[in-house]
């Protein structure tokens, strides 16, 4: 295996993110000798043909690295070794061959890592997981609109920082920071918890004094870089100390409470501790302010850890499945259960046994800065004992733990190596220095390879999907530190691009540390709280109370009575139109019937065969035709000629061109009927504007168009509303069905009313279906107290302003536009899409109602919601997606509740008409909104049950549409007509 072949296959789990990096700065490459020989710490140049003579340690000769699969480095070494006490680099390779991991091994171990992550996320498996996957309650990354004055406390090592961070969003997105570094004496690191937090409070007071802001109660973010269990953003229970800390009476306690107690005990200042975060989270948040794609943080310094934004639905430890939450992986403990035993070396075991926490943090001990220098020292000691280095000589300094510091590993050149070894009391030869450099390189490489085992898996649950990059390439940015490996980032980028050509992954260094990130967490928390409050205030008028819904029900009942009354009908908005449908199918109907179903931009022509007796049933054939917009809004003659043309096409398609059949005409617009076969159009709705139709009999207009064509003749027996057709369709299956409801492009209802109450028609016996035309409910102003500014905006720009107000609050033609207007308002106020309004969002009708159904789908991840928004030209964050989903939920829920209040008025009237204490009734329902929206039907049914507790209402979905109902009405009419003739 080549040393520069890095295993980063795991980045495949990361199609779209930025990684924030926090690390010290190191030189770009190591240089050896004065003759120009140099190499990167991650890439050794292969020997050129002209350089294959002589010892590999001679100037200008590159070290040769064996290819993967070769039996071993020593077999390739061409170097004569005149001194048995000297080693060439390839002999070092052979000696440390077990420390070099193959791609196959890395892949296998990374799979173990993935399993540990899944265990950590599961509620049942978390207790036994070594990678704890701790929820942080950080639910959002910076969006650039944060603003305010914040404090940060960054505690994670022997030194800690106090910072003042001023964040301004005045168009310049500026961050100003002042900070002070304070030391933690070693005795405090191993003393009592009270002493430690008293010291921190004292340093904090000193900092506030220095800036003369002790009298201000500023919000503070606390970076506490140790394994903690969080139950909320400002509460963090220390699980275990790491990094040399051993303070008593802290493990198992809330570190925020301990800090608050120390501050309160002083009494000379007060602060608002808003959030406590891990340094890894702080790094991600720091980098996330500059790069909004940053969703991963990585630390490889004194210790090591990673975090990333995980989907809430995968986090069993926290309730809720909406949005994301940052997970603090605490990956340093990976391997504590023995899964790394096959790659841990004798040196790793020796380091572990001599540590303060033997058997714990094994992964961290293989890759972090606290142990890397010690690993090199142990190797040097063993090789010296074996007589392979320093002439077999050992010194007290070389044998002393900690004397080969981690910072020595990255020192440049032979001269520095000679100086370091000499300070250890050694007298190194040129070859000893070269071998030491090679040992440092192997140790660094192994550490970085091990680090990849974890970064390969983080985050594992972002599914592959639509990209959000400006070039259509999935983008990833990581904030992370790169310890001791000067060209780590460059090599990692190259390998990632090679292995993941479909992903654009960026690494950005955190220049300001995790302290700034803690302030950013606090700033984001403040922003989110303020924005949430502002959004809820805007949405509050759309959330209807039980009392408001009862009032809507009562007002609907009043309007129904007006529509039924002869004297009040003219002023009624709910017209309660007689349909002259007085009977439902009784099972004796038979014959072939045509049906024409016109109610939107598409219409159907059907052939319906009704059979009775033993073969009772309905057989249907149909064809769908479209109506172009220019015909919808042209002349009536053009509209009905187009309809007849489509009927002609259908008859030819069915091979029935010369046959004359009875026809039922479903005409889903407000009509005044004087007979079953006569319908006077009162007004167009649903975007129709054909001239010369309002006030005319649509059956007559249809017959005239048929005569103009002179190809066939039809017997138009009945004209019915689609709502009536739906009721009849479902009534054929369920004898309790006496109500019809449509909730689709438009909305309407019908029901069987007692003839004695239908004052517009003579006679008191029996019942007649009444077409309510309830879409106009509220046109009198009776709903003005619940109409919002968004309803008014939609109404004003509609084709019929001031009309069909109830329909505009509940039907599919308008809900998407209501949502769009709310999103526009949110964006203008900086509460969504970072305050940037796209031209697409300004376009009327761009947010279709079908998007509400898709976005509210329970099985739809937020990534798909973002995809829908991207399709609309809306570049959104995860937070934006959550907000859009909430708006869709509020608007759709209100629509279903309002529809339910109207239906409650209908069923209660039927019950009271019949003097019943309890009514069992079925409602036949059709319409795309009812059928396709995941929650509309449930909310509607719950509302009816709540508002009409004395009615048992069953909702039966019409599978065949209102066209079948029109044919059945025609069949019933033909049956009755034939019976009358006999």
**Tokens matching residue 137:** 């309650």
CA 69 to each of CA 42, 102, 104, 906: distance values in angstroms, whole numbers, following the listed order: 19, 9, 11, 80
Q: Which residue has the tokens 């009772």?
A: 616
Residue 204, burial from CB neighbour count under 10 angstroms (0-12, 13-18, 19+) = buried
Cα–Cα distance, 209 to 214 (Å, whole number) = 6
Active-site annotation, residues: 604, 668, 722
Q: Which residue has the tokens 């159904």?
A: 853
Q: Residues 889, 543: contact at Cβ < 8 Å?
A: no
Rounded to the nearest 5 percent, the helix, strand and coil shares of the chain are 40, 20, 40
Cα–Cα distance, 656 to 651 (Å, whole number) = 5
Query: Which helix H or strand E contains 980, and what residues bound it?
Result: helix 961-981
Cα–Cα distance, 226 to 160 (Å, whole number) = 13
Using the 8-state DSSP alphabet, how is residue 756 labeled? G
Q: Residues 900, 546: contact at Cβ < 8 Å?
A: no
Cα–Cα distance, 774 to 909 (Å, whole number) = 15
Q: Residues 825, 801: contact at Cβ < 8 Å?
A: no
Backbone Cα Rg of the chain: 39
Q: Which residue has the tokens 């017209």?
A: 575
Q: Residues 436, 465: contact at Cβ < 8 Å?
A: no
CA 65 to each of CA 2, 47, 51, 60: distance values in angstroms, whole numbers, following the listed order: 6, 8, 14, 16
**Tokens matching residue 465:** 């999907």
Q: How many residues does the chain have?
A: 982
Q: Which residue has the tokens 């926090």?
A: 22
Residue 76, burial from CB neighbour count under 10 angstroms (0-12, 13-18, 19+) = middle
Cα–Cα distance, 941 to 422 (Å, whole number) = 85
Cα–Cα distance, 894 to 542 (Å, whole number) = 6
CA 158 to each of CA 183, 189, 883: distance values in angstroms, whole numbers, following the listed order: 6, 8, 42
Strands, sheet with 174-183, edge to edge from the N-terminal-most edge strand: 174-183, 159-168, 148-155, 219-224, 272-277
Helix (H), strand (E) counts: the chain:
27, 29
- DSSP states along 163-197: EEEEEE-SSS-EEEEEEEEEE--HHHHTSBHHHHH
Cα–Cα distance, 134 to 180 (Å, whole number) = 30
Cα–Cα distance, 557 to 550 (Å, whole number) = 11
Most distant CA pair in the chain: distance in Å?
127
| Strand pairing report for 602-611 and 737-743 | unpaired
Query: Which helix H or strand E contains 112, and what residues bound it?
Result: helix 103-121
Helices of type H across 878-935: 878-913, 928-932
Cα–Cα distance, 21 to 514 (Å, whole number) = 10
Strands, sheet with 951-957, edge to edge from the N-terminal-most edge strand: 577-578, 767-771, 747-754, 737-743, 919-926, 951-957
Cα–Cα distance, 380 to 212 (Å, whole number) = 53
From the list 738, 617, 639, 753, the residue with the least C-alpha distance to 687 is 639
Residue 141: alpha-carbon gap to chain centroid: 13
């Amino acid at each position: 295996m080549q040393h520069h072949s890095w295993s980063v296959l795991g980045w495949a789990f990361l199609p779209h993110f930025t990684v924030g990096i926090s690390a010290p700065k190191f030189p770009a490459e190591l240089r050896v000798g004065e003759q120009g020989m140099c190499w990167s710490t991650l890439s050794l140049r292969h020997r050129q043909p002209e350089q294959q003579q002589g010892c590999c340690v001679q100037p200008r000769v590159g070290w040769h690295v064996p290819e993967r699969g070769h039996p071993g480095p020593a077999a390739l070494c061409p170097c004569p070794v005149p001194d048995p006490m000297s080693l060439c680099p390839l002999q070092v390779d052979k000696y440390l061959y077990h420390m070099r991991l193959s791609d196959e091994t890395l892949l296998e171990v990374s799979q173990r890592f993935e399993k540990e992550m899944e265990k950590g996320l599961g509620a049942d498996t978390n207790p036994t997981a070594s990678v704890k996957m701790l929820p942080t309650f950080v639910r959002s990354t910076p969006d650039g609109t944060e603003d305010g004055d914040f404090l940060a406390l960054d505690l994670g090592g022997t030194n800690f920082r106090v910072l003042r961070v001023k964040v301004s969003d005045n168009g310049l997105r500026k961050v100003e920071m002042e900070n002070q570094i304070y030391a933690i004496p070693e005795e405090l690191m191993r003393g009592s918890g009270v002493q430690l937090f008293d010291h921190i409070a004292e340093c904090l007071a000193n900092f506030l004094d220095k800036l003369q802001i002790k009298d201000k109660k500023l919000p503070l973010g606390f970076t506490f870089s140790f394994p903690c269990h969080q139950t909320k953003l400002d509460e963090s229970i220390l699980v275990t100390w790491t990094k040399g800390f051993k303070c008593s009476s802290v493990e198992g306690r809330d570190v925020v409470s301990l800090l608050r107690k120390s501050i309160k005990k002083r009494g000379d200042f007060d602060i608002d501790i808003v959030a406590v975060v891990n340094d890894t989270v702080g790094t991600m948040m720091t980098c996330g302010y500059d790069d909004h794609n940053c969703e991963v943080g990585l630390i490889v310094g004194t210790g090591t850890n990673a975090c990333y934004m995980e989907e809430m639905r995968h986090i069993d430890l926290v309730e809720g499945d909406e949005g994301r939450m940052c997970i603090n992986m605490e990956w340093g403990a990976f391997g504590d259960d023995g899964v790394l035993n096959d790659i841990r070396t004798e040196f790793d075991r020796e380091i572990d046994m001599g540590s303060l926490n033997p058997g714990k943090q094994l992964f961290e001990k293989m890759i972090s800065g606290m142990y890397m220098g010690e690993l090199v020292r142990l190797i040097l000691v063993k090789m010296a004992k074996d007589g392979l280095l320093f002439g077999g000589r050992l010194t007290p300094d070389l044998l002393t733990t900690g004397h080969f510091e981690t910072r020595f590993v990255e020192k440049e050149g032979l001269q520095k190596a000679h100086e370091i070894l000499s300070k250890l009391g050694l007298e190194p030869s040129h070859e000893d220095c070269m071998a030491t450099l090679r040992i440092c390189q192997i140790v660094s490489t192994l550490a970085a390879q091990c680090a990849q085992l974890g970064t390969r898996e983080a985050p594992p649950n972002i599914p592959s999907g639509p990209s959000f990059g400006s070039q259509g390439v999935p983008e990833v940015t990581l904030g992370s530190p790169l310890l001791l490996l000067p060209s780590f980032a460059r090599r990692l980028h190259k390998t990632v691009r090679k292995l993941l050509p479909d992903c654009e992954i960026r690494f950005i260094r955190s220049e300001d540390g995790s302290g700034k990130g803690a302030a950013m967490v606090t700033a984001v928390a403040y922003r989110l709280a303020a924005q949430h409050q502002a959004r809820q205030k805007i949405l509050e008028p759309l959330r209807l109370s039980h009392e408001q819904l009862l009032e809507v029900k009562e007002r609907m009942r009043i309007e129904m009575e007006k529509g039924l009354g002869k004297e009040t009908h003219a002023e009624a908005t709910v017209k309660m139109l007689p349909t002259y449908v007085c009977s439902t199918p009784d099972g004796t109907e038979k014959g072939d019937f045509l049906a024409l179903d016109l109610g939107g931009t598409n219409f159907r022509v059907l052939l319906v065969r009704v059979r009775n007796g033993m073969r009772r049933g309905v057989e249907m054939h149909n064809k769908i035709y479209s109506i172009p917009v220019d015909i919808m809004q042209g002349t009536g003659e053009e509209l009905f000629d187009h309809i007849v043309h489509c009927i002609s096409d259908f008859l030819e398609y069915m091979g029935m061109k010369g046959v004359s059949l009875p026809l039922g005409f479903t005409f889903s617009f407000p009509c005044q009927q004087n007979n079953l076969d006569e319908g006077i159009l009162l007004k167009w709705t649903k975007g129709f504007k054909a001239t010369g139709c309002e006030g005319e009999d649509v059956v007559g207009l249809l017959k005239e168009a048929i005569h103009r064509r002179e190809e066939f003749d039809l017997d138009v027996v009945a004209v019915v509303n689609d709502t009536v057709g739906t009721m009849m369709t479902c009534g054929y299956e369920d004898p309790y069905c006496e109500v019809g409801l449509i909730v689709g492009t438009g909305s309407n209802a019908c029901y069987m009313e007692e003839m004695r109450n239908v004052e517009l028609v003579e006679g008191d016996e029996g019942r007649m279906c009444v077409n309510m035309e309830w879409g106009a409910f509220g046109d009198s102003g009776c709903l003005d107290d619940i109409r919002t500014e968004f309803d008014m905006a939609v109404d004003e720009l509609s084709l019929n302003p001031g009309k069909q107000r109830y329909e505009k609050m509940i039907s599919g033609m308008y809900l998407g536009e209501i949502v769009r207007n709310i999103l526009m308002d949110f964006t203008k106020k900086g509460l969504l899409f970072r305050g940037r309004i796209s031209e697409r969002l300004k376009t009327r009708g761009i947010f279709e109602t079908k998007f509400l159904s898709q976005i509210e789908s329970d099985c739809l991840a937020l990534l798909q919601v973002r995809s829908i928004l991207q399709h609309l030209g809306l570049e959104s964050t995860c937070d934006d997606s959550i907000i859009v989903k909430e708006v869709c939920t509020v608007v759709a829920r209100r629509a279903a509740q309002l529809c339910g209040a109207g239906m409650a008025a209908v069923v209660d009237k039927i019950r009271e008409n019949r003097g019943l204490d309890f009514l069992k009734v079925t409602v036949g329902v059709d319409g795309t909104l009812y059928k396709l929206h995941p929650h509309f039907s449930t909310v509607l049914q719950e509302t009816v049950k709540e508002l009409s507790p004395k009615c048992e209402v069953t909702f039966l979905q019409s599978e065949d549409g209102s066209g079948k109902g029109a044919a059945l009405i025609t069949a019933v009419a033909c049956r009755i007509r034939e019976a009358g003739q006999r």
